[in-house]
Structures are given as structure tokens and as C-alpha cells.
Structure 1
Amino acid sequence: MPFHLHLDENDLLRCRFALSPLWETQAAVRTLLRPRRHGYHQPWLRRIKGAASGLDLRPLWSLMTDGGHNPDFLCPPPTGPYVAFEDEIAAVRATDPELVAQDLKLTLADRPGGPHSPDGRALLADPARTLRDLADLLEEAWRTLIEPDWSRLRALLEADVAYHSRRLAEVGFARLLGELSPQLTWTDSTLTLVGMRGRHSRVLGGQGLVLIPSVFAWPDVVSGYEPPWPPAVIYPARGIGGLWTEPGASTPQALARLLGRARADVLCALDEPAGTSTLAHRLGLAASSVSAHLSVLRAAGLLTSRRYGHQVLYERTPLGIALAVPE
């Protein structure tokens, strides 16, 4: 059934992008529950298999079904564009237990047996303890699954926001939504999400909308936050097809002979805009070396750069794109 979010002019003025390491954490947990749905992440799934086996994720998985309501308190929309995981999980821990109980009842209503099932009664018997246990498990999942790769994930998410912010300025909000995902349409001040299970309709009432790119959401768009949580739409980030590509795997040999292997690898690693530290981590090179290569490539007209947030992002020019085409 379609989801409908009704916006007025004040909501449009308050629409913003944000990143959420907490969302990526719970989405990674969900990916482990249904690994076959996520072909793009098979290299990551193989690599973290051993570490993930030490986590008992069943309490979280029991609340993560495809249909119906999922607990909003486990991943509330971020309050700012760049919120640290530590701040997000602190906000989760500070949730009122009464609100946790209400949210769990909504979630359990879509499960066999509902709130009166043995599992439902156990969760609702002590909402404060349930909250503490689930937050502890999310924090453990963050340390094990996401934090080791967060610089790589964050770079891709920041590049997505930079790209779509530019597209917002170029084409406007209505057209941008269709570019975020074909599941999003805009008609008569109403944002419709198709392909969703269940039914959801919300008048935003001037709160605005948080747009959150996600590495692990593909191919879905996610929404459905209930008050008091702010409305949000989570959409698949651009560029996940090359997220786990090994350094230099796509560098044409002819380009490596022309520019030198390291410099060619830097150029070819920029399928999406990225900063110096991200490229250094991705390619296993010193940041100073990557910085020098970026300067040469930019001076040669193969790259352009712009400041976004706390860092400078580099991306290929049309000439750089043409040179980096695989053989």
C-alpha cells in the first residue's frame, strides 16, 4: 500500500539531508538476517562473517519483519546533518520507557500472538530493561559491523548528499525525489512512497522532512515514522555497486602506464566524490601521497574539487571520466 506524507510550504523550507551511523547499524543487522537480498554486499558479508557469528542478534531480528511496524525508538531520525553514533545511541537510551512500550505494542500487533505472546509479554514486562538490552546490542553491532568501515561508508554517503544537494539546486524538489528512487512520487504537495507494505499517512505540519541516504537500504525506500519522532525518508545511496571494490581492480592497464599506477588508481577510485583521507584508506596509500596525486590530476583538468562539510571532495571531470573507462 502507498505511504503518503503531506507537506506544506513550511515543510519544504525545512527539508534537509542527514547521515545516520545508527541507521546503518540496524540496517546492517537486517542485512545479516536476509543476506541473499543484498548481492552488492556479498564481499562485506563474507569478510565480517566470523566477527558477526559472535553476536546474538536474535532480539533485534525478532523486531525486524518485512511487513508491519518496526520500532521507531531503535533508530530515530538524526537531529543534525552529521551526528556521531555515540550521540545517537545516547538519545536511544534516553527514550521514555512509556514511549518504548507504546512503540513495542505497535510492533507486536503485527506479529503472531501480538503483545500477549510469550515474547511480547517478556519485552513489555520491563520496557526500561528491554530498551537497555537492545541499545547495548546495537552498540555492540556498531563496534563489530560498521565502525571498522565507517570512514568508507561515510565517504560514500557524504558524496551522495553532495550530489543530490547540487541536483536539488538544479532541478528542484519534485524532480529530485524521483531521482532518489523510482518509489517516490510528488503530486499536489504529497510525497507518495509506493511498494511499501502496510498503510501510513502523515501530515508533517511544518516539521520538515529528513532525507537519509543509506548504504544498506537498497533496493528499498523506508519511511513510516510515527509521532513524536520527526518524519524521515531513507533512500538507497548512489555508488554502492563499487563500495567494496578492491583498490586498483578497475584501473585500465593503459592508463596505469600513462599516469603511473598509484595516480591512475586515485583517478579510478573516484567513481563517487571522495576526500583525501577516504582515498588514502581505500587505496592503502599515505594521505600525503594521495594529496599530491590529487593536485596533479586536478591541475591536468581530470578532477574538480569543492568543499562539503568538514572536507574537500574530489570528483572526475568529463575528461577524467573518459580516461577511467575500463578496458
Structure 2
Amino acid sequence: MDRKVVEFHLAPGDVSAVRFGISPGHELVHAVRVLLRPQTVPLQWGWFRSLEEHRPQEALRLIAVISGIDGYMPDFLTSTPSGDMTPDDELARLREVPDELLRIDLAKMLDRSTGVRHEEIRALREDPPRARARIAAAWEEAWEALLAPVWPQMLRLLRADIGVRVRRIGERGLGEMASTLHSSVTWADGTVSVRMRLHEEVVDCGGTGLVLVPSVMHSGRGCSVLTQRPAQPTIFYPAHGFTETWYRDDGAALEALSALLGRARAQLILELQQPLTTTECAALADLAISTASHHLHVLREAGLVDSRRSGQSVLHARTPLGEALANGR
């Protein structure tokens, strides 16, 4: 099947303005979409099974009505992502969405809906103040039920991903870092291209830069993009280190492994959720590079870590034994 491509053209000023962000709103909408079609995202099954049986059904239904199960979702549900964006910030912004923006985005959803859903969206669009209040209340209820219990784990994954990406820019350049975001992303001559299923577009970033946003809830579904003004051009991509056990609190695992391996080696085993260089391991575990190298050597000798050269760097990854140990199996 032919794939569409969205191209982000970066001028010199855009390159210096590329930044990373975190989007609680994006994560929540995709969490609701996982609930609608859990069979399509097996890596989220553990999180799905961990949810409380009693959920705010009306709140989840309303978000599902306005966001759909796939593809485009209303831009007003997510603000421009930033590194310090909190769920409270997102909710406060949602409560102040201008009437006209809400009408415009809901009109786009009207074009993508039929039947009862179409009529409900039409009614929401005709009364923006009431719609905004209902949507914000539903957002808050859904957040508390779905993501509030696991937000610390999600935030740790997202921040770790950003830390790794920023270091790669410093060590290898923006182009090489961009090409590792996902298999659907390529970089050439100042253009970031993202292969998409349905959408294609050429976006001139126009000196405003490009926002790169790691995602936990969208992992396993490739990348998504935000291209329409006034939103800043944005690429959402799967976070590094995403496994089926992402939702578990690592605190207990760290304590148990520390008793067995020592805290530094236990931390390294838990951080190696994807291949990392020695420098990246050292930074994530807050160790000197020489100390991290020593501990990785010990873990390699014990058969818990495999190390292979990649260009000028050495990449370390957990072996199957290391995976079993890290995941408590």
C-alpha cells in the first residue's frame, strides 16, 4: 500500500528552534483510543488490565465522540507541548479555549462523523461555552481514572527519552537524531519527512521551529503530526524504552535488584530498556562515564548485558537474561 508523506521544511532559523515537549492532552486522547480498541495495541494490555473496573463512562464516551478512534483529533484538546507542561496546565488551558477555535475544530470532526455521533458534535458546536465546560469536566475525570495513577512512570519515560535525544543532537547532530525517532522518519537536506497512512502535506516551518514530542500512549502506532496553524509544527513519536511493563512503578524493582546487584548496576539494568551508549547510560544513572563503563563490563561478564560497537560508539542492551531480571520474571 502506498504511503503518504508529510514533509517539514526547516530553514536555518528553524534548525536552531527545534525543541522537545511533553503533551498530557495527547497522551489522554490516545489512552481513550486504547480503551476503544485495545486489541490493536498489545503493548498496552498490561496497563489496560491494571485500570480500575469502575470508570467514568460518560466522560470517556464524550472524549471518544469528539476525538474518534483514529487519525485527526481536535487541536484544542492539546496545547503546544512544552517540557514543563503539566496536566493541570493542560486542563486550565482547555477551560479557556476560544469559542471560534472550538467551533473550527468541531467542524472538522463533523466532516469525519456520521449518524448519532455527527448530531452530538453538531450540538456541541452550536453552544461553545457549554461544550467547553462539558469537555473540560470530562477531561479531568478521564485523566484521574486513566493516567493520574501512572503519570509518574510515564513522565520518567518521556523525560528519559528527551534526555537521550538531546545528547544525541550534541554528539551526532540534529539530522542523525531525527532519523532515529522512528522507522517512518527520515532526514535529508534540512527536511524531516514522516511517512503517514492517510495524510500528506508540505509544511514550511517558517522560522518557528519544530516541536518533537515523545509519547507513551501512541507507542506502537507510529508517528502523528500537527501541522495546521496557529499550532506550531509538531511530530509525536514513540518514546524510547517502551515495553509492556512500562506502567509498573520501578521503585520496588530497583530496591530488589539493588539488594542483588548493588544500586548502580540495578539502575543500569532498569535504564537499558533500549540500546544506549556508555555516555547515555552514565547520564541516566547519574554516574561518571568511567564508573558506568566498569559496571557495564561487570554486567556483560555476568551475561546480563550485550555490548556491540556502532560507529564511534558502543551500544549496550539487555540480554534475554537481563530482560527477565529487569521485568521480575
Distance 1:119 1:314 in 2: 58
Aligned to 2:297: 319
Structure-2 change in CA distance of 1:320 and 1:135 (3 Å): farther
Contact 2:55 2:145 in 1 (8 A): yes
Aligned to 2:32: 29
Distance 1:156 1:206 in 2: 30
Aligned to 1:291: none
Contact 1:177 1:185 in 2 (8 A): yes
Distance 2:102 2:133 in 1: 11
Q: Secondary structure at the match of 1:175?
A: helix
Does 1:230 find its partner at 2:232?
Answer: yes
Match runs of 1:1-327 below 5 Å: 1-52=4-55, 54=57, 56-65=59-68, 69-78=72-81, 80-112=82-114, 117-219=118-220, 220-241=222-243, 242-244=245-247, 259=261, 265-272=266-273, 304-305=282-283, 317=293, 318-319=296-297, 321-322=299-300, 323=302, 324-325=304-305, 326-327=320-321
- Residue 159 of structure 1, CA deviation: 0.7
Structure-2 change in CA distance of 1:114 and 1:205 (3 Å): farther
Q: Secondary structure at the match of 2:235?
A: strand
The residue type paired with residue 106 of structure 2 is L
Contact 2:52 2:145 in 1 (8 A): no
Contact 1:64 1:70 in 2 (8 A): yes
Structure-2 change in CA distance of 1:66 and 1:6 (3 Å): farther
Distance 1:210 1:30 in 2: 23
Aligned length, in residue pairs: 289
Deviations 1:219-238 (A, max 9, x none): 22010331111111110001
Structure-2 change in CA distance of 1:268 and 1:95 (3 Å): same
Structure 1 gap segments, 5+ residues each: 274-302
Deviations 1:14-58 (A, max 9, x none): 110112222222221121111112211211100104143655412
Distance 1:239 1:306 in 2: 12
Structure 2 gap segments, 5+ residues each: 275-280, 306-319, 322-329
Contact 2:59 2:139 in 1 (8 A): no
Distance 1:84 1:127 in 2: 25
- Residue 181 of structure 1, CA deviation: 0.6
- Residue 69 of structure 1, CA deviation: 3.2
Structure-2 change in CA distance of 1:103 and 1:201 (3 Å): farther
Deviations 1:115-167 (A, max 9, x none): 9x422321211122212211211111111211111111111111101111111
Contact 2:213 2:235 in 1 (8 A): yes
Q: Secondary structure at the match of 2:106?
A: helix
Contact 2:153 2:248 in 1 (8 A): no
- Residue 112 of structure 1, CA deviation: 3.0
Distance 1:320 1:210 in 2: 39
Deviations 1:247-294 (A, max 9, x none): 69999x9x889637x786555333359xxxxxxxxxxxxxxxxxxxxx
Structure-2 change in CA distance of 1:114 and 1:10 (3 Å): farther
Q: Secondary structure at the match of 1:180?
A: coil
Structure-2 change in CA distance of 1:55 and 1:119 (3 Å): closer
Structure-2 change in CA distance of 1:170 and 1:267 (3 Å): closer
Structure-2 change in CA distance of 1:248 and 1:105 (3 Å): closer
